[in-house]
Structure 1
Amino acid sequence: MGKMKRKAIGLLNRIQFVDLAQAVTVPSTARRDWLRKYLHRAVRGGKFPSYRYFRAAVPTIYGVRRGLDLSPPISREALEKHVKLACRGTDEALNVDAALTLYDLVRPKEYLAYDHPPRNLPLGHKRVAAIGLECELVKGDELVFQFPFPRRERLEDQSIKILLSIIHHAYAVDDREGAAVELADLSCDFEEAASRKERLPSVRSPRIVRLKENDLISMDDLAPEIQSVHDLLLDLGEEPDPA
């Protein structure tokens, strides 16, 4: 079995839902080429920057409460030290930057945060969209599932609607059915001609984006688009490995 085939099968079984949302956003006429580039990058491997240390620190950033532990929330300075120690020099700058940006965005809102079992959205037999959201927030009488998005590249509005709809269908169910779903978007604003001409550095422009009721995309509408991604990945898996 070639590398393309193995990687395609791996992605079919467990694709990151952010990448799935972006793939679904791409027009059907351009989706094959987009997925081919995505698959080629995965096959070639190599060392890509990772936000895994940021992800591990998310419960700490929100100040998740556990049992009888009455410890005060971590300070900004202690958070920076905590993430640096976890990184041990690996992808330190981007993980610390994302962690402090999220801290500054959400801590003033004084959420109460609690553990929540991570959930995946089933997409078929032994196939899931991996989400990895592991806490729930309470603000007054409202329950919120808020997904921190640490990448610097800003998502298109439609990708955000798809992403939040996937979270809704996976998390806002059963006794959590009325929960709000949000994106803690830590990305940079879209580049403008003036900033590009002046070569200004990209600066994070954090915001919280909430899924509005009329923006929720039903699973009936998502299913054929997701199936299209799966079919294309299977087809692309039959192509020769990239040189």
Structure 2
Amino acid sequence: MLTAGGLFTGDRSKFLKGVPVSGRYLAGIDIGTTGSKAAVFDFDGNILGSGYREYSCSYPRPNWIEQDPSQLVSQAMAASSEAISKSGVNPRDIASLGFSTQRSCANFIDRDNKVLRPMISWQDSRCTQEINDILEKITADEFYKITGFPLNTTWVLPEILWVRKNEPAVWEKTRKIIQLQDFTLRAFGAEGFISDVPDAGFWGMWDTNRFEWSSKILDLFSIDRGLLPEPLPSGTQVGIITADIAEKSGFAEGTPI
């Protein structure tokens, strides 16, 4: 298993179950707020190569902060290609790829899996009225007991309520609501829109006691469970690098993600 410090200390045969026998390295990508970092590691935690690409936020109105998720993913692929090149590692020797992304970022997806509007950043604070609307149906204390978080504009729930009220044309076309992690995983080859359980906690709709979407909160705000991604445990394989993504990212086709 991996320790908190990231060093491998357990049975490698269990860790590598289902990945190529030739895999001797790991790769990680972190898509942050202002840039994307990628690195290739050996099993002792040594960084063999890394890459970084910057991007920006847009500020269309006071308190609004938005980004283009496609640009962030494109820059992440460029950073990973740089990291692999600098490492000198054969991409086919990379056993698997893991991701970390900024959280509480709402993306609204149509039936063709296209983004309907710019991503609402976790820093965005346009949803102050939606916080008041939430408090009309659930107390701040009860919200905290269910979600484990204080009620504020950071979480995805008020962002959803804002779009539903202020952008009805977007809402009418919305078939999925996802965070950046879910968008990224699918862009790299995941089968469907997948979230890990820790990321699900940042929606403001996750029951941290039951480890499932809160039926109470979903019902209170008339949010269809089918709009949300599928939460899975961290470390679950959700797909593989496809041929077209291999060309863009530098990873070998078939690399588990």
**TM-score, with normalisation over the residues of structure 2?**
0.29
More helix by share: 1
Q: Which has the higher contact order (CA 8 A, sep 6+)?
A: 1
